[in-house]
Structure 1
């Protein structure tokens, strides 16, 4: 093992730690990998920045803009409305409709965009049918993941793997080469969800639900302060309006006599002026607190009373989406009044809450903010930094700012791009950028909106991580790992090797991003195929489906992270429901991939 390989493995190990821990964002981790490879001399500067000019990166950028154009014209919303009109009170039939439409849409539109638009639709279906929203959101995410894996333009991972394969001399995968395999997996998903999965996703009556009338158990974290002149001054927490109940519980009391000290409620004695209370409460109790003159909810660095009767406001739940400007920012550092025309009253993180101070909470993807203000998306930030998943005590029809007069044009452009790719008249890269140009020229989307709304995190993640594959090939690290794998599987059948690669990909994607998994494993898989004398295509396909269908955790795929909080799921829900499904897919992949792609 050479010094360069040891150095490369050190960089890879560091990247895996960062990807797994979430200490910094995945795109920044990818850029650190790129810079490290150049700084250590493993790659030349030209090789290091090659990810930015890679066809996968530029094609993904074009497809992201096309997806935003379709979203901007209301095409995805139209599918959501169709979904609502088709669903009924039969739970199994509703699930079939949800999964069919989400999978179909994700085959041609960015998967994250589809799920972001459909999450509020799931809440509307839950309210109208009485089906628990937890039963709907995981099937939505899983079906979208499989739909995206079923065409070459469905996900950025597919384009990345296709581009990596071509760089090693493999033939280019056509747009529908994956559809048969994806269709079989989707059929297995439907049967699994109808007969097994949906029953495991149901919540007991005593468990928290995101959709409720505000009378459920305490599930939001907020901070209140005892203002000057409050009737609660010198009163005990016990027996008063802040006494612990199922709906409201004081977690900590912060007192600023000399510095700042934190006390357990049982040790606080009597309340004092300017005491800050970290409170866990449900929506009903939060509304009571906002109307209680003896307390004030802290909404930013300054203290504001949220119940300003001169301004008509509404409570609504806002789900933080990918590419949001709020991610990784503390609540206290955001000027909500200026940029959003609304104030955060409370926060819910990933379906659970802790006892940290609300103002110190660092916002993450999938967090739910309970907001007080105008829930209609009138500002750029409120349209793109969150999606409103529930309005409280407001029953008017949701309004969306879409260019519906351009809907037919945007759909026609997408169909044209697909037709060019299917007929091989033009490569998907050229066809996609022609589509982007037409979208802008026909005003389906403006360049400004494209610049603002494109999920640049994906673009920089790809550009930063692609050079890692080059480094593995250049140093011989891929050959070293491949040789070890071959020794472990010597004397076995090609189907066993495919099975092992699929399983490794699925497990690795459960803890790091699927794109990073693909970059790590594709060079190794191609080396393995060369050493055992089998075609590399089945192993590449195994990586493609393994990376796109890892349902084990909410962190391996963005759509899982997006539904984690709104569905009030636990980490174990994904391990249980997604784990068995991954096992089924592993068996199917072991049997089908060698037969379909060898």
Structure 2
């Protein structure tokens, strides 16, 4: 048994291997802790605080109740001990960093809702091919870059389906890709000040003690080399992960995809894109006036029109008036219709086709299979007279009767009970079909629906706002929290995210966990626990050298992170690191930085971080998989950090 510092002045007895320390250091550490004398007036209060902290850690390990509930319990209990007051216990709610973290959740979610991150994933899928060697480096770099400006957990949740799609298309084992994904997401926390909550917590502790905080890119000189090492390491370590595919990759694998329906209903040759020329007779006419279904045998599925800042896909209605420059998405009822004749007749410019029935527009247009129930008012009507567009904002493009898709035109088919229809239209209209259960019964929602983002046309706006926020943070023109709030307001103004979605995007459990653990730092400061912990570390490693001291802090933080969240670890370890720096008369920055980096080095077990937990199922990983891949790289990350930190930030 050895006494190990686990928080801001907290001393906890835990069993852990100290094989990395020489026997003489171990003996010295034991004697140092035994020689510590706490002030008599502090003994009782300190032991009470330590007992509460030990209880919190045990509950964190058991994960019962939830960590945020445990934090609330501790925040309530500490004032009852008399060690701190109610104001100290609740001070975290007024901390600007808490508001900053909440604002960053909103900004990150806007990147998801506008499809920015997904488009990067699709770019990877299109350019990587079937080579693991070509795929892993750009995958890790993209994930790390995105994670540097949004929650790493959100990045992994976003990229899991992307990686699954890449694996399915390329034939690469998903087990070889999910681990690099989680490692890169964790390293993203080492890139910028706002990349992860532990960075902001450590920075807040610096400011609280009267020091100037870190800059936005202060972490990059360490994160970039560690990411480079991680890329090379994973190209080797992936061979330790057997390529066995999991039995299933999720519920979406059981659902049909749009490409499957396009093939089953024979839609591939029916799509056409035509641009309305300036002199076209269609200009200024409404769809009701034109009636292209009867006059040309063509059905306008959708139209694309220039908006204020970008082009947008619209669902046409009878009163929609066509303009020059509109792009019409046409479906021909029958192969007998001559598209060239239609083009010449209406002075339309033919545009390139994808050959996959508008599959390249799947962010705006979706499909759904529905069945006609016995009580439906549509029974006995033809497809045209049913007026699907007017009633449901959808267009019928396929009919299946008796399990067999009907070939040729379906416009005059009389609908019967049990018929299955394939409808196309905006995803928002597809989602609304549930309210028409007595007319149509939804049979199958395609797996592609999971990939749809709510506001794809707003991606340029989200990127512009993100760029502005980063510039404001880097320049220091306004405080970081004000820069983030400005970004949130602009994102709402530009409709990249709405108010309800913004509130849903905030991970309240994380905020409550941080606020609830902050009082421990104050309590341990008042009871002398932080001074005791700092003295013990200095007596143990102080004579060995600065590199040994930093290595000890890194190892201690990383080991503690095996049992509790990296957020709680940072709350507890940041005051200890700064107290050590003050005792040594050194600059606080290398000690604060080493704790922040170690808090993100949660590579070693599947429960070290939610990032790891998210990839366990899709990657079909075991505890041993994380140990044999994560432990060696944690040592690599520690070595790189211990070498670079005192060089970039002299003690």
* Inter-partner Cα distance in structure 1 for 2:477 and 2:57: 40
Alignment-derived partner of residue 525 in structure 1: 577
* Inter-partner Cα distance in structure 1 for 2:191 and 2:175: 25
2:635 pairs with 1:594: no
Alignment-derived partner of residue 229 in structure 2: 188
TM-score (norm 2): 0.63
Q: CA deviation at 1:467?
A: 1.8
In the alignment of these two chains, the number of paired residues is: 430
* Inter-partner Cα distance in structure 1 for 2:555 and 2:431: 45
TM-score (norm 1): 0.68
2:541 pairs with 1:500: no
The answer as to whether partners of 1:57 and 1:160 remain within 8 angstroms in 2 is: no
Q: Structure 1 residues 54, 398: closer, same or farther in 2, change over 3 A? A: closer
Alignment-derived partner of residue 477 in structure 2: 425
Alignment-derived partner of residue 517 in structure 2: 465
Residue 202 of structure 1: which of 218, 221, 242 is its match? 242
Alignment-derived partner of residue 222 in structure 1: none
2:110 pairs with 1:69: yes
Q: Structure 1 residues 398, 452: closer, same or farther in 2, change over 3 A? A: closer
* Inter-partner Cα distance in structure 2 for 1:395 and 1:25: 32
The Cα offsets for residues 281-321 of structure 1, whole Å up to 9 and x where unpaired, read as: xxxxxxxxxxxxxxxxxxxxxxxxxxx9999xxxxxxxxxx
* Inter-partner Cα distance in structure 1 for 2:490 and 2:559: 41
Alignment-derived partner of residue 612 in structure 2: 560
The answer as to whether partners of 1:510 and 1:551 remain within 8 angstroms in 2 is: no
The answer as to whether partners of 2:606 and 2:626 remain within 8 angstroms in 1 is: yes
* Inter-partner Cα distance in structure 2 for 1:399 and 1:18: 37
Q: CA deviation at 1:532?
A: 2.2
SS of corresponding position for 1:191: helix
SS of corresponding position for 1:31: helix
* Inter-partner Cα distance in structure 2 for 1:111 and 1:128: 25
Q: CA deviation at 1:581?
A: 0.5
Once the two structures are superposed, the pairs formed by residues 250-265 of structure 1 within 5 Å of their partners are none
Q: CA deviation at 1:145?
A: 1.4
Alignment-derived partner of residue 57 in structure 2: 16
Alignment-derived partner of residue 155 in structure 1: 196
The answer as to whether partners of 1:210 and 1:568 remain within 8 angstroms in 2 is: no
Which is bigger in relative contact order (C-alpha 8 A, separation at least 6)? 2
2:102 pairs with 1:102: no
User: Is there any run of 5+ residues in structure 1 with no aligned partner, and where?
Assistant: 216-307, 312-375, 381-391
The answer as to whether partners of 1:123 and 1:211 remain within 8 angstroms in 2 is: no
2:484 pairs with 1:447: no
Q: CA deviation at 1:416?
A: 0.5
Alignment-derived partner of residue 279 in structure 1: none
Q: Structure 1 residues 211, 395: closer, same or farther in 2, change over 3 A? A: closer
Alignment-derived partner of residue 353 in structure 2: none
Residue 5 of structure 1: which of 42, 46, 59 is its match? 46
Once the two structures are superposed, the pairs formed by residues 137-536 of structure 1 within 5 Å of their partners are 137-195=178-236, 197-204=237-244, 210=249, 399-536=451-588
Q: Structure 1 residues 396, 106: closer, same or farther in 2, change over 3 A? A: closer
SS of corresponding position for 1:49: helix
The answer as to whether partners of 2:190 and 2:222 remain within 8 angstroms in 1 is: no
Q: Structure 1 residues 516, 397: closer, same or farther in 2, change over 3 A? A: closer
Alignment-derived partner of residue 84 in structure 1: 125
The Cα offsets for residues 427-467 of structure 1, whole Å up to 9 and x where unpaired, read as: 11110011111111221111111112321111111111122
* Inter-partner Cα distance in structure 2 for 1:75 and 1:395: 20
* Inter-partner Cα distance in structure 2 for 1:107 and 1:51: 24
Alignment-derived partner of residue 386 in structure 1: none
Q: CA deviation at 1:170?
A: 2.4
* Inter-partner Cα distance in structure 1 for 2:145 and 2:584: 37
* Inter-partner Cα distance in structure 1 for 2:454 and 2:636: 40
The answer as to whether partners of 1:126 and 1:132 remain within 8 angstroms in 2 is: yes
Q: CA deviation at 1:164?
A: 1.4
Q: CA deviation at 1:117?
A: 1.0
* Inter-partner Cα distance in structure 1 for 2:476 and 2:253: 55
* Inter-partner Cα distance in structure 1 for 2:511 and 2:530: 25
* Inter-partner Cα distance in structure 1 for 2:252 and 2:86: 58
Q: Structure 1 residues 69, 398: closer, same or farther in 2, change over 3 A? A: closer
Q: Structure 1 residues 575, 427: closer, same or farther in 2, change over 3 A? A: same
Alignment-derived partner of residue 167 in structure 2: 126
The Cα offsets for residues 186-239 of structure 1, whole Å up to 9 and x where unpaired, read as: 0000010012x211122447x756479999xxxxxxxxxxxxxxxxxxxxxxxx
The answer as to whether partners of 1:468 and 1:520 remain within 8 angstroms in 2 is: yes
* Inter-partner Cα distance in structure 2 for 1:465 and 1:101: 33
* Inter-partner Cα distance in structure 2 for 1:489 and 1:209: 50
Q: Structure 1 residues 213, 8: closer, same or farther in 2, change over 3 A? A: closer
The answer as to whether partners of 2:175 and 2:244 remain within 8 angstroms in 1 is: no
The answer as to whether partners of 1:170 and 1:537 remain within 8 angstroms in 2 is: no
Q: CA deviation at 1:534?
A: 2.1
* Inter-partner Cα distance in structure 2 for 1:514 and 1:397: 34
The answer as to whether partners of 2:112 and 2:453 remain within 8 angstroms in 1 is: no
* Inter-partner Cα distance in structure 1 for 2:104 and 2:614: 21
2:48 pairs with 1:48: no
The Cα offsets for residues 336-391 of structure 1, whole Å up to 9 and x where unpaired, read as: xxxxxxxxxxxxxxxxxxxxxxxxxxxxxxxxxxxxxxxx99879xxxxxxxxxxx
